[in-house]
Structure 1
Amino acid sequence: MATARLRRAFRYPDDSGDDEHSREELDEEAIPLFSSFAFIASILSGSSSLSERFLSLLGALSLLVTAYIMKYLPLERPDPKGKRPMTTPHAMASIRPYILPVDAAICVLLALFYASQPTTQSWLVIQPVTYLVPGAMFAAVLIARKVMLSVDLKALENLRYEYKGA
């Protein structure tokens, strides 16, 4: 009697279609979110002053907005023919033009507060250098977006290896 043998397609270990066995990597959007925890202690602390709580709230807000920029703000590649892409209107479309300038203003305000503080402040719950973190994250995101826009995807697609057989 002949036995039936089922043949399955070969798959590499990391090429499995199962999402339940895939590894979850640290997402780059999570870096500003984790950085915002530095401000949470100052916001919730009873020993911090009202101005320090306000500045910490601004720092956490700036980091959350930076995470939003990384995740949801699309990269706008200039069209060689000068055409503008069609977009679907939604609730966040009206505030998108103001997100980058407002985040930049918050980062500048926090940097100015850092620059105005003497080096030996004992009344602050967090170190004043922490107020530079939102600006550093925002600058890193802007630089990464600029670099991503400068990459020519057509040239990269031409370099792709098209051979699929063994």
Structure 2
Amino acid sequence: MLVSDNLISYLNQSFAKYSLLDHKPTLTSEESLSVRIEAGYKNIVGAKALLLELLQKDIELRERVLCILPGSSKLNEKKLVEAIGYGKKLKFLDKETMLRDYNLVPGSVPPFGNPIIIVKHFIIDSDIFQAPLLGFNAGLLTRSIIIEPQEYKKVLKNYTIASIANRDI
């Protein structure tokens, strides 16, 4: 089953209130935001989902990490490692690994850990829950889910909230 189908089924079983938006393929956070605004969602913030691998220098530690941050933000890797509490280095998963292990391509990753995307660490930037409305690709580059932050939070499992995005000062 496709990640998109699993996600929609999960949201429906959780009685989440959301909207589904099919659109042209979007490869970047900026493109995704643009199609969502064009569809009438004006006060929307993209929820960017990044899949990484946490590496430890001295031992052969490789743990998967899913982090979520506002689409216009950049990840602060040092803050992410601090939020996890151990590890030395982070590496973004390459396209081949994402496709093989998750049946996803870059840009299509939805902001859901277990049971949708199985990872050891699921970290969400604290600013995500301050947004008026969230939008994210739903396992496909051609499908978005629009959801209020409180609905999103209601269906999440086993996550940590931390400040992991670089902030403009």
Q: TM-score, normalised by structure 2?
A: 0.21
Q: Which protein has the bigger strand share?
A: 2
Q: Which has the higher contact order (CA 8 A, sep 6+)?
A: 2
Q: Which protein has the bigger helix share?
A: 1
